[in-house]
Chain A
């Protein structure tokens, strides 16, 4: 499959690049070179956060033309962009080509390396064992291609294909026999969709209808990680037995098929009224098969209350989810620059799940008994359902033509109805795991803006009021304020201030949730003389939330509190001379509170033009992270310097 996808991409590129070869002038901008990495501190933490690697890198390519000098009639425009391909961790490629009114192709490719190995996440053994129990080192590749035939004409056929793969190793944990064992995982996920549709333009009525077929395939194989036979072993021997695994194998395969439909239609009733209708539907059906086998010396309380020496599990499950959403909207232009819109949408999702899991416990014997051991079969047959409907009605008024002012106001109502019917096997502590839940949210919003003579002002306010929560952290009241002031004096000066505050609360006596987030900052840019550009910014970030809860072990009331106090300061300078362009900046962010850390960042770039087309670029990037205050010691530190040397060619 990997070979065919590479072939596809290569063939696509070759085909289109060949097509533009006849172009008379091809604007080209390409920067490539080598990046060195000098890293001290925790490499895993660095890779989790940044992951710039050492190696060859294509920083950017832009290759575009629509000037074919009449020689190529099949293609009249072509644009190819790529960035950060090579020594990752994330790169992209985008291509658009076609001929006006005949065809248009859009192709995108994105690659992202997902690495996560944190010392203190999912790690009850920290700092004895590092990194955490869960790590991943996977790669995601996304391809998307869509071709339109006769774009802009009365009928435009559309064909599209999307492919998203996510593959690679990882580590996870398995809870069995009252202990957790680390497993090595090998994941291979492919999600792909083929779609076909048609857009139409009949003057007053336009629309688009697309039918898609999506298939998701997940395959994961897990084995016991080397050296993990004894599990976490946090507990003392249980009834004289220290749990251990001698062998473990699990194989899981899931296939999900999802036909989907989307339709959008817009009609105009005269010059002032526009009507929009949309409908989407997706019907997903997932089948999973799993087989698991393990041997060891283990103890089970929940399932069989016995010791056991092996387990063979097979599972076959099916889940079906039907989702649809329909909406209608009317937009009325009352007068020039004054518009009213109103819409209604209904969203519905129904899930039906069924699982049949068979566990054969081998060589079991009771806690107080004497062997001979026997095999025990435990069957789980689960059937559950979930039904959710959301109705949203909204009205908005915008007055945009009041000279330099604009005003807007809106109201919306969201009604949620959720019915959860869990299987009994899901319920360990009875209560609040199923039932019918309803919530209605009224939202009022208003905003204004002013712009004249380089001065801009903007303010927004939104209030949400809900009658009931569905989960404990749902707000009953929420207020959001936003203010922005900016002034620009030609190229000389640009100064701006921004502030945001978000308050949310639920004052129910049995919940008592309270949250506030405040963020404000200012920017200043000065260009005193043409070659010199200075910039400064400072910002504060504050977050507080508290909610009481009951401790599982005692049912006593405790408070979950989260707090952040962030301060950022940044300064930068740019110098532009005919023989060199320099840009440098330094930034520091200090965050105190529940998860304190400090980040220092420095960036310096020098660009030396050698000829009109050729330039040499040198770059230094430094990121220094320190979360020592969390008792992570040296594990919570890294200092990463990247040095890049690049060649730039512009034509």
Chain B
């Protein structure tokens, strides 16, 4: 398990390197339209078509290969053949499909039908409407140069344009995830095409919270588990975006955070119907020692050895 995948991966990669550097397997498939004719092409008039080379839409199987500027196949696949448009020297736009608003955006899903990636366009968190649709975030012709997926801007800027308070948490709170840096984006944890349930979180492949994608050591299972995995989640104690408090906690004082759950009820009897034990009386929280619960209870995320989460 430890070495074999790497060895196999390395060998496979070297093979790939050799194959890709060597002679071609065969010729490229011919483009669907003749590449060089005297017939007009979109790029004759539209600079956007000239700049389309490299766009993922130029490699739709069976539609277009290679440089879009040399032919119009890639343009045609979305905008239609535009014969009248060309014959009228651009005056007649009746056979050109334009993309505006919800209707225009939903043309995208005639090809982008993946249930996993575009599940929400009908009923989800960003269900396609006049206010929010594919074209709100994606720009087929003018994507931001440094982002993948033809995004119109950097991912964090796009999200912030409608969700400024979440972005303010990242920027204004001293203890925050480093959004926009090192590959950490809103989309690292949220699926923008997801359903509205569970804040459209990008769960792991087996349905866990996205936190454990990075913080794998918190996943467990532990013999003595704490909140996560029993009740609640990581967000029971932590602010996932940004927090004013150390360790991105939801409370400024650690003892208060713990005692809000670990307490008897405040009724006339010392009982409660909730889960969470009362600390023994030697925990005198007027003393600094006991205001810092995690000084001793170091294994607050779960322990394999200590029933009291001491190690």
The yes or no verdict on A and B being binding partners is: yes
How distant is the Cα of A354 from the Cα of B163 in the complex, in angstroms? 45
What are 28 of the A-B contact pairs (CB < 8 Å)? A66-B55, A73-B24, A75-B20, A83-B183, A96-B148, A110-B183, A112-B214, A132-B292, A145-B9, A173-B295, A266-B115, A274-B115, A284-B219, A321-B221, A353-B224, A382-B224, A429-B280, A437-B274, A451-B131, A472-B265, A496-B164, A510-B267, A552-B259, A560-B260, A568-B168, A587-B172, A595-B245, A597-B174
Query: Which B residues touch A468, using CB under 8 A?
Result: 273
Are A458 and B266 in contact (CB-based, < 8 A)? no
Report if A140 contacts B (CB, 8 A).
yes
Is A364 close to B, CB under 8 A? no
Chain A CB within 8 A of B97 CB: no
List 13 additional contacts besides A77-B56, A388-B230, A398-B122; criterion CB under 8 Å: A1-B6, A70-B24, A121-B247, A124-B289, A174-B311, A175-B310, A191-B219, A216-B217, A261-B206, A286-B221, A404-B130, A433-B275, A500-B165
A31 to B163 CA separation, bound complex (whole angstroms): 29
Q: Does A232 contact B (CB under 8 A)?
A: yes
List B contacts of A195 (CB < 8 A): 205
A294-336 Cβ-contact flags toward B at 8 Å (1 or 0) = 0000000000000000000001011111010100000101000
Q: How far is the CB of B201 from chain A (nearest CB, A)?
A: 14
Question: Is the Cβ of A81 less than 8 Å from the Cβ of B275?
Answer: no
Residues of B within 8 A of A27 (CB): 54
Contact B244 A595 (CB under 8 A): yes
Closest to A160 in B: B205
Interface residues on A, range: 35 or more
Contacts A256-B221, A553-B286 hold; do A428 and B280 have CB atoms under 8 A apart? yes
For chain A residues 112-149, which have a beta carbon within 8 Å of chain B?
A: 112, 116, 118, 120-126, 132-134, 140, 142, 145
| Contact, CB under 8 Å: A320 / B164 | no
Decide if A553 touches B284 in the complex (CB within 8 Å): yes
**In-complex Cβ contact of A431 among B21, B56, B216, B277 (8 A):** B277
Contacts A142-B214, A317-B223 given; does A552 touch B165 at CB 8 Å: no
Alpha-carbon distance A317/B286, docked complex (angstroms): 36
Q: Which of A2-10, A239-247, A572-580 is found at the contact surface with chain B? A: A2-10
Do A589 and B172 touch across chains, with their CB atoms under 8 A apart? yes
A122 to B2, CA, bound (A): 36
Q: How far is the CA of A524 from the CA of B154 in the complex (A)?
A: 19
How large, as a class, is the contact surface on chain B?
Answer: 35 or more
* CB–CB A473/B261 < 8 A: yes
Q: Are B231 and A418 in contact (CB under 8 A)?
A: yes
Contact B131 A449 (CB under 8 A): yes
Residues of A within 8 A of B53 (CB): 25, 66-67
The reply to whether the CB of B91 lies closer than 8 angstroms to some CB of chain A is: no
Is B39 an interface residue, CB under 8 A from the partner?
no
Q: Give Cα A288 to B184, complex, Å.
A: 32
Q: Would A234 and B289 count as touching, CB distance under 8 A?
A: yes
* Shortest Cβ distance from B249 into A: residue: A121
- Of the listed stretches B41-49, B57-65, B80-88, chain A binds B57-65
CB < 8 Å neighbour of A84 from B181, B271, B283? B181
- A435 CA / B274 CA spacing, docked (Å): 9
A557: interface (CB < 8 Å)? yes
Residues of B within 8 A of A474 (CB): 274
B154 to chain A, nearest CB (A): 10
Which single member of A281, A418, A450, A513 contacts B206 (CB below 8 Å)?
Answer: A281
Q: Is A539 an interface residue (CB 8 A)?
A: yes
